[in-house]
């Protein structure tokens, strides 16, 4: 049975800007109509200005536990990451759920109604899958549901601890070993009526160059995000290993490699969204690539707002 609720907004932010006298009809939780109208009997009044829900396109819910604890002394991305790994090492499905629920509730109270969760804390502390290998993703879904916020679960492929380096310590929780194992696990997430399943390449230091096309193919046209270029050392390591920057690796591969990079090339030029993009601007950025910064964290080497030329 469809439940119909009507609201009357004194002022609403519509396509044309702030508009007075707007009536909003909701069918079972979904907006069915927005009309210019005075109040009618039974309308629920919405005083002040009504805004559309905001979207937080890049979240690491568990990083919320770091806020206010990583800036007392000068540090780097890498010292920040040590603190992040310490949190990652302690979480289990229950505490992950509780932390994510609190984080999503904060977002909802701030007007955020949809979140893209860049999810890589997949497995048990020793790196082995839980009995349900998607239990941490399910915890995020449950947290979003209880907070009343829509979720796109951007499940991240994370294979290496650096270019040519194995995963070690808490980072073992992130990895599935191979792209096919990652894709098989993500496929098992299944449908959910309040969330979408997307995909992510954690970064070029976490997914080897040769594996990038396989990840893109497995994503199959779903939302695909990545950390394009998180900080200077990553750029230098990418240059040393591949003789190109992370952005070039995805977008400007040499002609001999274009076929292998066909999918990532399309990805960058098409619909990729990237975060933490240190040094990704200028001639190598593309106007169809969306760049944003994470609100939960505040990286010590990456706090300046981007300047897009």
Residues forming contacts to Zn ion in the complex (CB under 5 A) are 275, 294
For residue 132, the minimal CB distance to Zn ion (Å) is 25
Residue showing tokens 């750029």: 235
CB closer to Zn ion out of 183 and 275: 275
For residue 61, the minimal CB distance to Zn ion (Å) is 11
CB closer to Zn ion out of 43 and 106: 106
For residue 256, the minimal CB distance to Zn ion (Å) is 32
Residue showing tokens 């098992």: 188
What is the C-alpha to C-alpha distance for residues 117 and 137, in angstroms, rounded to an integer? 10
CB closer to Zn ion out of 23 and 273: 273
CB closer to Zn ion out of 268 and 294: 294
CB closer to Zn ion out of 134 and 302: 302
For residue 23, the minimal CB distance to Zn ion (Å) is 40
For residue 59, the minimal CB distance to Zn ion (Å) is 8
CB closer to Zn ion out of 214 and 273: 273
CB closer to Zn ion out of 9 and 291: 291
**The 3-state secondary structure of the chain, one letter per residue:** CCCEEEEEEEEEEECCEEEEEEEEEEECCEEEEEEECCCCCCCEEEEEEECCCEEEEEECHHHHHHCCCCCCCCCCHHHHHHHHHHHHHHCCHHHHHHHHHHHHHHHHHCCEEEEEEEECCCCCCCCCCCCCCCHHHHHHHHHHHHHCCEEEEEEEECCCCECCECCCHHHHHHCCCCHHHHHHHHHCCCCECCEEEEEEECCCCCCCHHHHHHHHHHHCCCCEEEECCCCHHHHHHHHHHHCCCHHHHHHCCCHHHCCCCHHHHHHHHHCCEEECCCCCCHHHCCCCCEEECCCCCCCCCCCCCCCCC
For residue 190, the minimal CB distance to Zn ion (Å) is 25
CB closer to Zn ion out of 9 and 87: 87
List the structure tokens of 67: 């806020």
- Start-to-end C-alpha separation, the chain: 52
For residue 64, the minimal CB distance to Zn ion (Å) is 13
For residue 118, the minimal CB distance to Zn ion (Å) is 5
Q: Are 247 and 284 in contact (CB under 8 A)?
A: yes
Q: Point out which residues pair with 114 in neighbouring strands.
A: 55, 150
């Amino acid at each position: 049975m469809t439940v119909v609720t009507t609201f009357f907004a004194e002022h609403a932010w519509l396509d044309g800007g702030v508009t007075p006298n707007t009536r909003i009809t909701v069918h079972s939780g979904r907006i069915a109509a927005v009309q210019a109208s005075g109040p009618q009997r039974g309308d629920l009044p919405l005083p002040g200005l009504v805004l559309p829900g905001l979207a937080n396109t890049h979240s690491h819910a568990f990083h919320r536990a770091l806020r206010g604890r990583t800036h007392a002394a000068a540090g780097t991305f890498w010292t920040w990451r040590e603190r992040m790994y310490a949190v990652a090492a302690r979480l289990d499905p229950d505490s992950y759920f509780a932390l994510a629920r609190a984080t999503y509730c904060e977002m909802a109270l701030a007007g955020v109604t949809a979140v893209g969760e860049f999810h890589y804390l997949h497995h048990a502390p020793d790196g082995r899958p839980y009995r349900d290998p998607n239990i941490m993703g399910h915890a995020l879904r449950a947290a979003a549901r209880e907070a009343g916020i829509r979720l796109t679960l951007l499940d991240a492929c994370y294979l290496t601890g650096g270019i040519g380096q194995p995963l070690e310590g808490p980072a073992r929780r992130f990895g599935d070993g191979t792209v096919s194992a990652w894709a098989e696990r993500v496929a098992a997430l299944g449908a959910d009526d309040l969330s979408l399943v997307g995909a992510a390449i954690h970064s070029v230091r976490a997914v080897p160059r040769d594996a990038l096309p396989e990840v893109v193919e497995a994503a199959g046209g779903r939302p695909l995000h990545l950390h394009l270029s998180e900080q200077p050392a990553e750029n230098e390591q990418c240059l040393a290993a591949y003789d190109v920057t992370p952005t070039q690796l995805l977008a400007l591969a040499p002609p001999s490699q274009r076929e292998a990079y066909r999918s990532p090339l399309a990805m960058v030029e098409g619909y990729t969204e990237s975060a933490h993009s240190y040094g990704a601007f200028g001639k190598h950025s593309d106007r169809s690539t969306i760049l944003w910064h994470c609100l939960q964290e505040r990286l010590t080497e990456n706090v300046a707002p981007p300047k897009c030329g």
